């Protein structure tokens, strides 16, 4: 609020009209993940995580903003000192023309050389692989979070499910006790 100081005897108060911000898509604004691999933590033990840029075409970025990305069967591959994202499905852009992208093409991941060397040494161990956990926007650019993963056996999955159910029951018990 501003006060008029030209005449001290009459103080007028003027209110500024609030500037209405145009509602922006939470995915595009970077407030929410564009794609999340829900099955990754169920099927793998996830350890080290690395943020990587993704080399994309324009229609792919627009499709990710629309929420047409899926990481369910995707994995990372290290080859010749470079990192690639395979089987990541990014659906075609709705307003794309004949120059639209292929949905399952191989995309290059942008990492520093030392990060690639570290991941390469880790994946040479038996049973370790690179799994993309999520796609998100950061400062207008698409980023992919990769995790070093080791596959779970069926009994590991059952143990994870038991722990999850135990946590859920504990939270429910706390909520019941707070209501009383």
> Which domains does the chain show, CATH number per domain?
24-152 (2.40.280.10)
> How many CB atoms neighbour CB 122 within 10 A?
15
Report which secondary-structure segment, H or E, holds 128: strand 128-138
Asked whether the whole model's pTM tops 0.75, one would answer: no
pLDDT tens track for 25-63? 666 666 667 778 887 877 888 888 989 998 887 788 888
Higher pLDDT pick, 33 / 166: 166
Q: Rounded mean pLDDT of 66-89? A: 87
Between CA 72 and CA 40 the distance in angstroms is: 8
Residues 6+ apart with CB under 8 A from 148: 46, 47, 48, 49, 50, 119, 122, 123, 128, 129, 130
Average of per-residue pLDDT values in the chain:
80
Between CA 158 and CA 177 the distance in angstroms is: 29
Question: pLDDT class for 172, splitting at 50, 70, 90?
Answer: very high
Enter the tokens of residue 111.
């990492």
């Amino acid at each position: 609020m501003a006060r008029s100081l030209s005449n001290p005897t009459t103080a007028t108060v003027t209110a500024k009209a609030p500037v209405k911000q145009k509602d922006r898509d939470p995915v595009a604004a970077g407030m929410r993940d564009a794609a999340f691999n829900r099955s990754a933590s169920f099927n793998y033990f996830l350890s080290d995580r690395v943020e990587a840029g993704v080399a994309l075409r324009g229609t792919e970025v627009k499709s990710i903003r629309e929420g047409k990305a899926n990481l369910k069967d995707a994995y990372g591959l290290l080859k010749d000192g470079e990192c690639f994202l395979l089987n990541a499905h990014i659906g075609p852009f709705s307003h794309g023309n004949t120059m639209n992208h292929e949905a399952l093409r191989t995309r290059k991941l942008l990492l520093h050389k030392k990060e690639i060397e570290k991941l390469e040494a880790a994946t040479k161990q038996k049973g370790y692989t690179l799994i993309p956990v999520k796609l998100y926007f950061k400062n207008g650019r698409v980023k992919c979070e990769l995790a070093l993963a080791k596959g779970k056996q069926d009994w590991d999955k059952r143990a994870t499910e038991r722990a999850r159910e135990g946590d859920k029951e504990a939270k429910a018990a706390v909520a019941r006790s707070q209501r009383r």
